[in-house]
C-alpha cells in the first residue's frame, strides 16, 4: 500500500500568511485614494457651503435727495461690511445695474409727493374744530359767541364769513375734501437669474425696513429664470452631470487606452467631449427645459468645458497613473463645484472660493450660460475666454505628456539595448567562441572545413535566440 505524504503544515501556513500580508498591504495602499477623496470633499463642500454669509454684497437704495443717502448709510452701518449699499437716483438705472449684475437688489423708496393732495390737507384743517390754524373765521365765531349776546349776530356773521374764506384758502373751493392719491408700497428689485440665494438674502434685509414704514414690501423680479427652473440652480446640476461624464471618461481613456499612442488618446478625448456636450444640451433643452432659448450657445460652452477637463485629465494620467482620479476630482469637483457660483455667489462665500470664482472653469460655464440665456450676453466674452483658457491648458498638458512619453520610450529602448549587450557579453564569457572552435577543427581535419562552418553558423544562431537578439 502506497502512503500519501502529508504537506508540511507550518510551511503552508507561513506561505498563506505572507500572501495575506501582501494582499492586505495592496488593499490598504489603494484605500488611501478614497479616504483622501472623503477628506477633500468634506473640506471643500463644508468650507464653501456650511456657513454662507454675505461679504460686501452690492445692493442699492433708489430715491432722490437726502432720504436715500441717509437710508443707505443706515443700512451700511447696521450690516457691518456684509453689504455694500450705494444710492441710485432712478428706478430705471437700478434695473439696468441689476441686468449687468453690478448689484443684486435695489430698494425703491416711495415718493413723498404721493401721500395726498393739498385739498385734503385743507379739508382736514377745517374739520379740526374752532381752534384749527388758519380758520380765522371759525375763531372769530367762537369768540363772538363768548363775548356777549348783543354782539352774537355780528360776530356770528363775520365768523361765518371768516370760516368760509379760511376754508377756501386752505382746503380749496367750498372746503370739500378731495380723495388723496394712494401711497405706493416700497419696492424691492431683484434678479433671481443671477442668484436665487442672493435675492433671498437681500429680501430678508429690506423686509424689516419696509415694515418700519407700515407697508408691505413689493418684490419685483427683473430677470426671472425659466419656468421649469424656478431657482436657477438647474445650471449648476447640469455642470455636475457634464463634469462627471468628463472626468470619468479620463479614467477609461487613461486606463484601458494606455496601450494606444497619445495622439489617439487625444482624439478620443476630443470626440468624447463632443458627445458629453450633446448630452448636456439635451438635458438643458428637450429633457428638462432648464433654458427656453440659446441652446446652441449652451452646447458650445459645454463642449469647451468638457474638452478642457478631458485633455487636462488625459495629460495628467501620463504622470499621475493611478492617482489620476484623485487629481481630476480635486480640480474639477472639490475646487470646481464649490467656486462655480451655482449655489452661492462669491459674495456669499469666503475669500478663497470667491477668488477661484474669477478664473475657474466651472464658474466660466455657469456664469457664461447665465449671461447667454438671461442677461442678453452681458459679460459673455469674458466667461467664454475662461473656458478657452482651460482648453489651451489642456492642449499644453497634452504636449508636455507627449514629450515625457517620448523620453520614456527612448530611455526604455536604451535600457533594453544595454541589457541585451550585457547578456551577450555574459554568454560570450561562458561559452567557447564558435569561430575559434571551427578553426581548431579545421586545423585538425582539413577535409571537413565545409561541415564545420555549417555547425558554427547553427551554433551562433542558437546563441542569438538564447539572448533574444
The confidence score (pLDDT) of residue 6 equals: 53
335: helix, strand or coil: coil
Determine which helix (DSSP H) or strand (DSSP E) holds 270, and give its type and residue range: helix 262-282
Residues of the chain with pLDDT under 50: 1, 114-177, 438, 447-449, 463, 466-469
pLDDT tens digit sequence for 400-435: 999 999 999 898 888 888 888 888 888 888 866 555
pLDDT tens digit sequence for 210-232: 888 788 899 999 999 999 999 99
C-alpha cell at 173: 373751493
CA atoms of 80 and 362, how far apart (whole Å): 31
The confidence score (pLDDT) of residue 13 equals: 80
C-alpha cell at 8: 508540511
What residues contact residue 112 under an 8 Å CB cut-off, 6+ apart?
67
The confidence score (pLDDT) of residue 380 equals: 97
φ, ψ dihedrals at 82, nearest 5°: -70, -35
The confidence score (pLDDT) of residue 425 equals: 84
The confidence score (pLDDT) of residue 314 equals: 96
The confidence score (pLDDT) of residue 158 equals: 36
C-alpha cell at 129: 374744530
The confidence score (pLDDT) of residue 311 equals: 97
Helix axes 152-171, 136-147, angle to 10 degrees: 160
Amino acid at each position: 500500500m502506497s502512503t500519501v505524504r502529508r504537506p508540511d503544515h507550518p510551511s503552508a501556513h507561513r506561505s498563506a500568511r505572507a500572501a495575506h500580508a501582501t494582499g492586505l498591504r495592496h488593499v490598504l495602499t489603494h484605500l488611501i485614494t478614497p479616504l483622501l477623496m472623503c477628506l477633500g470633499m468634506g473640506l471643500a463642500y463644508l468650507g464653501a457651503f456650511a456657513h454662507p454669509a454675505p461679504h460686501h454684497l452690492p445692493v442699492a437704495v433708489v430715491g432722490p435727495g437726502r432720504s436715500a443717502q441717509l437710508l443707505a448709510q443706515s443700512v451700511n452701518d447696521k450690516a457691518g461690511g456684509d453689504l455694500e449699499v450705494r444710492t441710485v437716483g432712478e428706478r430705471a438705472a437700478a434695473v439696468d445695474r441689476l441686468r449687468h449684475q453690478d448689484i443684486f437688489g435695489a430698494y425703491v423708496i416711495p415718493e413723498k409727493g404721493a401721500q395726498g393732495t393739498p385739498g385734503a390737507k385743507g379739508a382736514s384743517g377745517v374739520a379740526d374744530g374752532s381752534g384749527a390754524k388758519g380758520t380765522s373765521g371759525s375763531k372769530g365765531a367762537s369768540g363772538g359767541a363768548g363775548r356777549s349776546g348783543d354782539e352774537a349776530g355780528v360776530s356770528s356773521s363775520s365768523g361765518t364769513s371768516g370760516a368760509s374764506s379760511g376754508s377756501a384758502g386752505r382746503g380749496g373751493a367750498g372746503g370739500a375734501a378731495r380723495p388723496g392719491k394712494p401711497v405706493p408700497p416700497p419696492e424691492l428689485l431683484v434678479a433671481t437669474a443671477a442668484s436665487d440665494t442672493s435675492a433671498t438674502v437681500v429680501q430678508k434685509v429690506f423686509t424689516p425696513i419696509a415694515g418700519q414704514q407700515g407697508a408691505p414690501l413689493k418684490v419685483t423680479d427683473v430677470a426671472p429664470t425659466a419656468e421649469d427652473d424656478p431657482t436657477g440652480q438647474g445650471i449648476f446640476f447640469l455642470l455636475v452631470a457634464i463634469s462627471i461624464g468628463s472626468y470619468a471618461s479620463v479614467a477609461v481613456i487613461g486606463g484601458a487606452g494606455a496601450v494606444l499612442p497619445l495622439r489617439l488618446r487625444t482624439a478620443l478625448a476630443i470626440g468624447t467631449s463632443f458627445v458629453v456636450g450633446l448630452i448636456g444640451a439635451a438635458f438643458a433643452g428637450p429633457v428638462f427645459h432648464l433654458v427656453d432659448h440659446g441652446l446652441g450657445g449652451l452646447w458650445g460652452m459645454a463642449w469647451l468645458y468638457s474638452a478642457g477637463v478631458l485633455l487636462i485629465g488625459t495629460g495628467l494620467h501620463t504622470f499621475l497613473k493611478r492617482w489620476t482620479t484623485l487629481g481630476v476630482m480635486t480640480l474639477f469637483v472639490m475646487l470646481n463645484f464649490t467656486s462655480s457660483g451655482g449655489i452661492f455667489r462669491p459674495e456669499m462665500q469666503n475669500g478663497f472660493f470667491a477668488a477661484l470664482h474669477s478664473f475657474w472653469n466651472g464658474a466660466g460655464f455657469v456664469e457664461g450660460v447665465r449671461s447667454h440665456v438671461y442677461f442678453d450676453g452681458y459679460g459673455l466674452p469674458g466667461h467664454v475666454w475662461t473656458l478657452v483658457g482651460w482648453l489651451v491648458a489642456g492642449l499644453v498638458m497634452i504636449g508636455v505628456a507627449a514629450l515625457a512619453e517620448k523620453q520614456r520610450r527612448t530611455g526604455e529602448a536604451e535600457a533594453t539595448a544595454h541589457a541585451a549587450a550585457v547578456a551577450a557579453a555574459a554568454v560570450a564569457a561562458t561559452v567557447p567562441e564558435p569561430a575559434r572552435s571551427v578553426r581548431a577543427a579545421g586545423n585538425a581535419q582539413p577535409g571537413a572545413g565545409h561541415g564545420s562552418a555549417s555547425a558554427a553558423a547553427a551554433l551562433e544562431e542558437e546563441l542569438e535566440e538564447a539572448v533574444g537578439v
